[in-house]
Amino acid sequence: MDTPELHTRCTIVPPYLLVRLAKLDEPRFAQAAAAARASLLRDSQIRQLRGGVHPFAYSGARTLPARTPGDSDRTISDADGQERLPGRQVRAEGHPAGVDPAVNEAYDGLGATQTLFWTQFGRDSIDGNGLPMDATVHYGKQYDNAFWDGERMVFGDGDGQIFNRFTISPSVIGHELTHGVTQFTANLQYQGQPGALNESISDVFGALVEQHTKNQSTAEASWLIGEGLFTVQVEGVALRSMKAPGTAFNDDVLGKDPQPGDMAGYIETDDDNGGVHLNSGIPNRAFYLVADTLGGNAWETPGHIWYDTLIGTGLNRQSDFAAFAAATADTAARLYGIGGAAHNAVLQAWATVGVVAASSAPVPPARPAPPTPPVAPLPPE
């Protein structure tokens, strides 16, 4: 694996949504437009600092107490509407819930993510070695985003017109923390197809965090990323739909969800780091199709295929969709057998979204070689 960039910053809201909001000139959306412009400016500064130290980040030494592997180690801080990190500490591991819903949601979301990765995949926190999980809430004034900055989760409160507070969705918290997991494993470059895979992997495990917490099967789950983020004024249910990319919102203000669900709709663009939030709909749908084909709980067989691929040796920083498809197919074959249900589901899913060529028939299960017939003894001379 490549050495991780310790300060990669990945936001949950794609820039094209904020750009659209920033251009609004209707008086009734003045608050949302001003918030979007300020958020874009903040995010632009963050992107320019990718790979460097955040100007307001705290990276001081921290004495870590003895802990049992798998136990959560969470700290929640409050930025009090400022843009300084980490802010003042308001809740630590084991402390009771308070009255601030953002603090409680962040604390619970960090714990739910740790629980999924530890109980299902044996991964102890973001780095696999018990890294403390830190978050800051109430970042900035009406900040319309949430991000992982390489060290901590950071949540804005939203503008109140278009966006609610960003701690409201467990899938958002799981999504952003998974950027940290990717940072410490495949470390996919945040540009073009590798960047879209980076985003998709975060969507996959963000969805699995929410499903695992709610004990939802594949059929019961919504497969929405960021459900609850939009206010009632928006004609939309979430930022993205993994089940049906391009259907999460269709609003007079935000426009229609532009995500493609297959390679026929792949978007070539220089914006959004080469369309990382747009084209992630393609691998997102591939994962959903695998889960839908296999049924049951998506964090089991499909989740193990994606997780083992992420931590394995089949990826590098520049891996594209085709490389990831091949790696997941290899993982499925290794874990569940060549030609087995999981292997065929993976192959079919990537073919359905147009990443690999369609196969005319499923790969037949591998059969053991027939036993060698016994050699007849030679007649006596």
The single residue of 7, 54, 179, 277 carrying the catalytic annotation is 277
144 sits in which H/E element: none
Beta strands 10-11 and 74-78 are: unpaired
Q: What are phi and psi of 148, to 5 degrees?
A: -100, 125
pLDDT of residue 187: 94
Q: How many residues are there in the chain? A: 381
pLDDT tops 70 at residue 11 = yes
pLDDT tops 50 at residue 227 = yes
Residue 244 burial (CB count, 10 A)? 17
The answer to whether residues 361 and 344 touch, using CB atoms and an 8 Å cutoff, is: no
Tens-digit pLDDT profile for residues 334-363: 999 999 999 999 999 999 999 999 865 677
> Span 139-149, mean pLDDT?
94
The answer to whether residues 335 and 305 touch, using CB atoms and an 8 Å cutoff, is: yes
pLDDT of residue 303: 98
pLDDT tops 70 at residue 21 = yes
What average pLDDT does the structure give for the chain? 89
> Span 307-335, mean pLDDT?
97
Work out the angle at residue 325's Cα, subtended by the Cα atoms of residues 315 and 348, and round it to the nearest 5 degrees: 160
> Span 371-376, mean pLDDT?
51
The answer to whether residues 245 and 261 touch, using CB atoms and an 8 Å cutoff, is: yes
For residues 168 and 371, the model is more confident at 168
Indicate the pLDDT class of residue 5, thresholds 50, 70 and 90: very low
Indicate the pLDDT class of residue 58, thresholds 50, 70 and 90: very low
pLDDT of residue 10: 84
pLDDT tops 80 at residue 380 = no
Residue 152 burial (CB count, 10 A)? 24
pLDDT of residue 235: 97
pLDDT tops 70 at residue 63 = no
> Span 157-184, mean pLDDT?
96
The single residue of 7, 54, 175, 176 carrying the catalytic annotation is 176
Indicate the pLDDT class of residue 67, thresholds 50, 70 and 90: confident
Indicate the pLDDT class of residue 149, thresholds 50, 70 and 90: confident
**Is 176 a residue of the active site?**
yes
For residues 374 and 272, the model is more confident at 272
pLDDT tops 80 at residue 47 = no
**Is 277 a residue of the active site?**
yes
pLDDT tops 50 at residue 30 = yes
Share of the chain above pLDDT 90, in %: 80
C-alpha 190/C-alpha 193 separation (Å) is 8
